Structure 1
Amino acid sequence: MARAPEAPDILSPEFAADPYSSYRVLRDEFPLLWHEPMQSYVVSRYEDVQRAFREPAFTTRNYDWQLEPVHGRTILQMDGREHAVRRALVAPAFRGRELDEKFLPVIERNSRQLIDTFRAQGRVDIVADYATRFPINVIADMLGLRAQDRGRFRGWYTSIIAFLANLSQDPEVTEAGLRTQREFAEYMIPVIRERRNNLGDDLLSTLCRAEIDGTSMSDEDIKAFCSLLLAAGGETTDKAIASLMLNLLNHPEQMAAVRKDRDLIPQAFAETLRFSPPVHMIMRQPAEDVELSGGAVPAGSTVTCLIAAANRDPQRYANPDSFDLFRTDLPTKTAFSAAADHLAFALGRHFCVGALLAKTEVEVGVNHLLDVMPDAVLEPGATPVEQGVFTRGPASVPVRFTPVA
């Protein structure tokens, strides 16, 4: 008689080493799992995660304890008119003409500056030398902050991400995150106040002058949004670029197709968001009792939505464990909007406000990398591995290439 499978433990070393095997077991056998150490219900099927992101019964009140201690109160915690107004204040900077005319040059300049440091070397670690630096440099530049402070931003960003991913509640990680919140506030509030008196053409000035129906953002609002942008914008784009490049390097025929037709980059990015998303889980808190696959979840509970498990649900995608930028069941046209089919940017009213910024950064970055190393291959003997549980991406992508003039 076959033994019944055991429920995977999200906090175990085995899960961290290979979450995808555990995701299959969770989807098949434990679609609704109570995880005692995290005090959370875990859902893994596409239909359940999609519902948790779209239906109003699932609130973001979990961010009161998950995000607010390190960021301050952010747009992610807000509902109703408060959320609609705050989103309307910040959203225009991340789309359309504002993005194309004001920030695209900033993105391109920062990408080229990083690539110039290794273009003649013939080898690079895409993670350490490019991906971990590029989005943070872009965000600091967009905000009009001093280039010499970028090292501090990277340190704060690393500490914030560790706090958010601290599922085991390590006290040292918690303290480092709280310390970062204080240090970031001490740095940003004086900068915001100075910028209000000397408005320019940067994102910080845009946030300072933004107003809708007599509502504008306070210094604390802006500081919290900048902290959120630093973490969410940095971590996701960092891991998306590294994962996309690794996926293509691991599939030479698809890499050749993208080199030949750069218009395929958005498709490769959308498939990367499905196949190996930067964020593997997001939490929600239902305001009422809800029925999901496998049972009921009581009001006020924490629900951990396994994005990466849902994105490989065979009930939704054909051959879900295969990377295929040409797949027909993942529309690219809507992949970077609230109508997206994959779940990597969430859905509904809390769909990622920076999705188009991320798309622009990834397209610019991948184009520039392919320009400078058209024959790139993984270093002989290298076997890149993913790291992380809450967020996840390759720890290193060492590449060798022939330098191009």
Structure 2
Amino acid sequence: MPGGGGADVRGAGGSGGGNGVPRVLLRGAVPDPYPFYRTLRERSPLAYEPVLGVWLVSRYDDVSLALTDPRFTQGHRPGDPDCAAHPVLPERGLGEVVERTAYVLARRIAGRGRADLVEEFCRWLPAGALATAVGGACRDGRDLSRLVRRRAETAPAGPCASRTAVRETALAAFLANVLGEPGLGALLREHPALIPRAWAESLRRDPPVQVVLRRTSAEVEVTGGTLPPGARVACLIGAAGRDPARFRDPDRFDLARTDPGQLTFGTGSCPAVLLAGLEAEHGVRALLTAMPALRWADGFRPVPAGLVVRAPRTLLVSPGGRRGS
């Protein structure tokens, strides 16, 4: 193994499947990947997966390095430095578009006895707001998807903003936390200035993208060994976000964190990063305003699904009555 420090991932706590592929990388095989991540961080921070030919890095410092160091190539996240070439969207006007879209969707849901926020809110808000921002209208989801693909890359949004899937997934995970953490929804309703902090904490603890691939262009030292040039590297964002060496009590949703250190998005002024934050803020405000008694439907609890992209596929709620508009 390069540097003599990397461990075969099949030796990490017996987590390999029958064909040698770690279960965490098999779609749908692990309902909860976090125990596996913990094992990797503690025992094999640099682990090799021979079937896929990929190195796994799981500690926060190493994942952050792989996502930002120029010795790692062939990757892109919204907010990365190369996003500087994207057109800049007007934040004030864009915020108004997102807010208006969110309230329209929330008021439609408020009059129902039961609704699925994933199908009826999370999948509409990112694309609907973007479609409005680039100057179009749509009649249904298919029209909306075609409109976004056709217009967004050449209109003032750019390619990152046109890819709405990550924002949809991130919004679903965020709403699951808002409704699932005791007292959090009421707190955000009374103190909406805390919503951006809650959004960042959700991205840290429950990132919508759990694994990002990179490739080295030179030797790179990481915890546990040295990666050779040309190595394929799987950056386990889900593991990094719960690294106890970086975060106190990392499994807990904690609004008091002053440096959440989310790795889903980069730090640049990419339109997709701006849109995601606006959708989270205005989406939660619209839902809690239109439905102050919003709660899970009877007998329902959200279950995150997916291993590369992870979030609840369904969020069944009881709107609990409409607040007058």
Please name the residue that 2:101 is paired with.
110
Please name the residue that 1:249 is paired with.
179
Please name the residue that 2:315 is paired with.
397
Instruction: Provide TM-score, normalisation by structure 1.
Output: 0.68
- Secondary structure of 1:17's counterpart equals coil
Letter in 1 for 2:294: A
What's the Cα RMSD here?
Answer: 2.9
Q: 1:150 deviation in Å?
A: 4.2
Q: 1:17 deviation in Å?
A: 1.1
Letter in 2 for 1:354: A
Q: Alpha-carbon deviations, 1:270-321, whole Å to 9, x = none? A: 1101111111111111110111111121111211101111010000001101
User: Do the aligned partners of 1:144 and 1:203 also contact (CA within 8 Å) in 2?
Assistant: no
Letter in 1 for 2:112: Q
Please name the residue that 2:5 is paired with.
none
Q: Taking structure 1 as reference, are residues 148 and 125 closer, same or farther at Cα in structure 2, changes over 3 Å only?
A: closer
How much identity, in percent, do the aligned residues show?
32
Q: Alpha-carbon deviations, 1:136-155, whole Å to 9, x = none? A: 11222222244147415548
Q: Taking structure 1 as reference, are residues 146 and 261 closer, same or farther at Cα in structure 2, changes over 3 Å only?
A: closer
Please name the residue that 2:7 is paired with.
none
Letter in 2 for 1:364: H
Alignment of 1:248-267 (within 5 A): 248-267=178-197
Whole-angstrom CA distance in 1 between matches of 2:117 and 2:97? 20
Are positions 1:304 and 2:223 aligned together?
Answer: no
Whole-angstrom CA distance in 1 between matches of 2:126 and 2:146? 14
Q: 1:109 deviation in Å?
A: 2.5
Are positions 1:284 and 2:214 aligned together?
Answer: yes
Whole-angstrom CA distance in 1 between matches of 2:107 and 2:41? 45
Among candidates 74, 81, 86, match of residue 90 of structure 1: 86
Letter in 1 for 2:321: T
Are positions 1:230 and 2:162 aligned together?
Answer: yes
Alignment of 1:4-403 (within 5 A): 5-8=13-16, 9=22, 10-12=24-26, 15-59=29-73, 61=74, 83=82, 87-93=83-89, 98-101=90-93, 103-148=94-139, 150-154=141-145, 188=150, 204-206=154-156, 225-226=158-159, 228-231=160-163, 234-330=164-260, 341-346=261-266, 354-400=272-318, 401-403=320-322
Whole-angstrom CA distance in 2 between matches of 1:4 and 1:113? 49
Q: Taking structure 1 as reference, are residues 402 and 293 closer, same or farther at Cα in structure 2, changes over 3 Å only?
A: same
Q: 1:328 deviation in Å?
A: 4.3
Letter in 1 for 2:130: I
Whole-angstrom CA distance in 2 between matches of 1:133 and 1:145? 14
Q: 1:374 deviation in Å?
A: 1.0
Q: Taking structure 1 as reference, are residues 17 and 58 closer, same or farther at Cα in structure 2, changes over 3 Å only?
A: same
Q: Taking structure 1 as reference, are residues 16 and 137 closer, same or farther at Cα in structure 2, changes over 3 Å only?
A: farther
Higher helix proportion (structure 1 or 2): 1
Q: 1:32 deviation in Å?
A: 1.1
Q: Taking structure 1 as reference, are residues 203 and 291 closer, same or farther at Cα in structure 2, changes over 3 Å only?
A: closer
Letter in 2 for 1:229: A
Q: 1:129 deviation in Å?
A: 1.0
Whole-angstrom CA distance in 1 between matches of 2:49 and 2:234? 9
User: Do the aligned partners of 1:7 and 1:25 also contact (CA within 8 Å) in 2?
Assistant: no
Q: 1:54 deviation in Å?
A: 2.1
